[in-house]
Chains A and B, each alone.
Chain A
Amino acid sequence: MEGKDGKEENMAAWLLGIENLKIQPIVLPPLGPHDVKVGIKALGICGSDVHHFKTMRCANFIVKKPMVLGHECAGVIEEVGSEVKSLKVGDRVALEAGISCRQCNLCKEGRYNLCPQMKFFGSPPTNGALANKVVHPAYLCFKLPENVSLEEGAMCEPLSVGVHACRRANVSPDTNILIIGAGPIGLITLLAARAFGAPRIVIVDVDDCRLSIAKSLGADKTVIASTNIEDIGIEVEQVQQAMGTGIDVSFDCVGLNKTMSTALNATRSGGKVCLIGLAQTQTTVPLTPAAAREVDVIGIFRYRNTWPLCIEMLRTGKIDLKPLITHRFGFSQKELEEAFETSAHGGNCIKVMFNL
């Protein structure tokens, strides 16, 4: 396989089977006129990557043949296609992971995250970006300011989920927020909500350690919850008390019956529950009493048009994601396996980052 110098082989982390990841070559496609070739420098592991690693599937996406993992990434431009004017070799960029068709009604309306033909890094059958280099459309590569690192660039991807959720839920200086789950997505949602002006944020988790991280990242109050569905009544009272006033929007960053039920019951009449975490398929929830109080349920699927805003918030320091990067690994077979195990383990591990 020919890299630019004719010698170097492009290597990637291939998922070959359950818990079977191997660094092997990947042939890059030819560089189209609107494409760029990016040397990947920073790549974060997402819960969905871990899920693919552990089960070879994620919801309706099934890994049927070997696939490269990874989609939260940033790197340096190595080559640009003939029509690319906005980027040049050496530019540091963050990559938006999904290529939509740009022709269907959803794309044309701007809701391209819902495009049925979406080709998304690391969602089968599309190869991901945990590789030395990738080829990607230039319009999905966003230049990073000097003061934003490549690791922060890679963090734009999970941050985008929080930003998209805050937009869909209309978070503003009037919005008191409950966040259920203090994992990477809950924490990012906390930071995004604050950046959108939310005055008061209460965050809930079963894990003390994650709650103290949330507190250090600016949560006004934390509440420890159980995994026991009988405790919903008590916990709803506790979160309402911690909030002090009505809960305008609840972000469920977990997506289990218990967390959804808590969110539906705790949110004030006329408020919104935003479902970000997508743990279960069939859910049993008290939907009717919530609907009878006009508590709406808003779905979140990835993001759209979020990179410019994310980058701006990182540039100004309105959001600081660096504390979320808790573990770092290099790009070798041994470190690859260790990184995934660390991420799967959870606990005090928030974001695992590869430096290539």
Chain B
Amino acid sequence: MGKGGKSHGGAGEGKDGQEENMAAWLLGINNLKIQPFKLPPLGPHDVRVRMKAVGICGSDVHYLKKMRCADFVVKEPMVIGHECAGVIEDVGSEVKSLVPGDRVALEPGISCWRCNLCKEGRYNLCPEMKFFATPPVHGSLANQVVHPADLCFKLPDNVSLEEGAMCEPLSVGVHACRRADIGPETNVLVMGAGPIGLVSMLAARAFGAPRIVIVDVDDQRLSVAKELGANETVKVSTNIQDVAEEVAQIQKAMGGGVDVSFDCAGFNKTMSTALSATRPGGKVCLVGMGHSEMTIPLTPAAAREVDVVGIFRYKNTWPLCIEFLRSGKIDVKPLITHRFGFSQREVEEAFETSARGGNAIKVMFNL
């Protein structure tokens, strides 16, 4: 059970007893409605947060379009959204680290803290994970949510609430850079210049990567990538026959060996390209999740000791993300291309805009 109540029933009680807490509920395919969302009681280690900025993720759009994402199936109405930041309204009795008025970015997933994976620190893999907007747990596109204080990270004065919300997608890039050991010697190939490809590129640069080549099928996204600091861009096709030629182009664009490839798309073609383009002893990080079964030249890659590193969400990334944003080492503001308010019409329009892709990179709600 997630932190949140049913879609119907009485008004939720805000601190002032008057305000009804509203949220964006996913009721069915292409069916989003702003409706009341009853908050659970505030536990001793919880805080109540007024949401100010919520970004739309590809997975949110996927749920809207299909009512499922991989093995997660939406079986009953669920509040959508998980990339968020807001202002503390109230704190539980044991909370010492935060006070009302604090501006915080939220890490969406509550793990169990008891299983072996959690105890080892790999809590992102916890089988009991309760994650905003992964069914059956309600998301955070709402006026207010209740959340554990230890998953709310205070924002410095010079980091906006929108940037706070961007910590979530940025965390995926940061986690990938850690797992792939990106450093000043790592020449990086990024497959896909969508939001995840772009945050991976920004994170890789922040981790010291000296040379980054990014590929996409879309010229416009490539020019955004170039503005954001890619050393070279390569336009690619969707035709699997072109893999060999594109591998050659990529290696030429890199100049030296490709040490790490981030596949931020996750298709047979992108994965095949990444496996073939990466130098012996290098790594391919599978960040994007396209198809389940993949047909790829895995054996030849394994025979060159090109390892495949899996990425699932992130762990322990908020402090580093916030520091990158505070120092200006990473600037995520250019990724926020569209903004909407929190009304029925705007919620629908926002999701359509995000689903459209193209020049829409990150769609942000301002509440």
Spell out A's residues near B (CB within 8 Å): 59-60, 106, 109, 111, 113-114, 116, 168, 255, 260, 269-270, 275, 278-301
14 contacts between A and B (CB under 8 A): A111-B281, A113-B305, A275-B302, A285-B296, A287-B293, A288-B292, A288-B294, A294-B124, A294-B310, A296-B309, A299-B301, A299-B303, A299-B306, A301-B303
Residues of chain A within 8 A of B300, CB atoms compared: 59-60, 281
Residues of chain B within 8 A of A288, CB atoms compared: 266, 286, 289-294
Cβ B286 vs Cβ A301 within 8 A: no
Cβ A290 vs Cβ B310 within 8 A: yes
Interface residue B125 (Cβ < 8 Å from any Cβ of A): yes
From A60, A255, A282, A287, give the contact of B308 (CB < 8 A): A287
> How distant is the Cα of A162 from the Cα of B125 in the complex, in angstroms?
29
Instruction: State the 7 A-B residue pairs at the shortest beta-carbon distance, nearest first.
Output: A299-B302, A291-B310, A275-B302, A297-B308, A291-B286, A114-B280, A269-B125
> How distant is the Cα of A298 from the Cα of B302 in the complex, in angstroms?
7
Cβ A281 vs Cβ B308 within 8 A: no
Closest to A280 in B: B299
Interface residue B114 (Cβ < 8 Å from any Cβ of A): no
Beyond A292-B312, A299-B303, list 10 extra A-B contacts (CB 8 Å). Answer: A270-B117, A270-B120, A281-B300, A284-B293, A294-B124, A294-B309, A294-B311, A297-B307, A300-B302, A301-B304
Cβ A278 vs Cβ B293 within 8 A: no
Interface residue B70 (Cβ < 8 Å from any Cβ of A): yes
Cβ A279 vs Cβ B122 within 8 A: no
Q: Is the interface of A mostly helix, strand, loop or mixed?
A: mixed
- B247 CB to nearest A CB, Å: 15
Cβ B125 vs Cβ A294 within 8 A: yes
> How distant is the Cα of A299 from the Cα of B306 in the complex, in angstroms?
6
State how many residues of chain B have any CB contact under 8 Å with chain A: 38
- B192 CB to nearest A CB, Å: 15
> How distant is the Cα of A30 from the Cα of B45 in the complex, in angstroms?
78
Closest to A115 in B: B280
Residues of chain A within 8 A of B298, CB atoms compared: 260, 275, 283, 285, 287, 297
> How distant is the Cα of A280 from the Cα of B296 in the complex, in angstroms?
11
Q: A287-B286, A296-B308, A301-B304 are in contact. Are A270 and B125 (CB under 8 A)?
A: yes
Cβ B117 vs Cβ A285 within 8 A: no
Closest to B179 in A: A294
Residues of chain B within 8 A of A278, CB atoms compared: 299, 302-303
- B306 CB to nearest A CB, Å: 6
> How distant is the Cα of A109 from the Cα of B271 in the complex, in angstroms?
27
> How distant is the Cα of A301 from the Cα of B127 in the complex, in angstroms?
34
Q: A290-B310, A296-B309 are in contact. Are A106 and B296 (CB under 8 A)?
A: no
- A278 CB to nearest B CB, Å: 5
Closest to B296 in A: A283
Residues of chain B within 8 A of A294, CB atoms compared: 122, 124-125, 179, 309-312
Interface residue B184 (Cβ < 8 Å from any Cβ of A): no
> How distant is the Cα of A90 from the Cα of B99 in the complex, in angstroms?
80
Closest to A168 in B: B305
- A305 CB to nearest B CB, Å: 14
Residues of chain A within 8 A of B286, CB atoms compared: 287-288, 291
- B69 CB to nearest A CB, Å: 11
Closest to B302 in A: A299
Residues of chain B within 8 A of A113, CB atoms compared: 305
Most chain B Cβ neighbours within 10 Å, of A109, A275, A294? A294
Cβ A291 vs Cβ B125 within 8 A: no
Residues of chain A within 8 A of B290, CB atoms compared: 288
- A272 CB to nearest B CB, Å: 9
> How distant is the Cα of A278 from the Cα of B306 in the complex, in angstroms?
13
Cβ A281 vs Cβ B297 within 8 A: yes
Map CB proximity to A onto B2-19 as digits: 1 under 8 Å, 0 otherwise.
000000000000000000
> How distant is the Cα of A296 from the Cα of B312 in the complex, in angstroms?
11
Interface residue B366 (Cβ < 8 Å from any Cβ of A): no
Residues of chain B within 8 A of A285, CB atoms compared: 293-294, 296, 298
Cβ B294 vs Cβ A289 within 8 A: no
From B125, B127, B291, B304, give the contact of A299 (CB < 8 A): B304
Map CB proximity to A onto B296-330 as digits: 1 under 8 Å, 0 otherwise.
11111111111111111000000000000000000
- A290 CB to nearest B CB, Å: 6
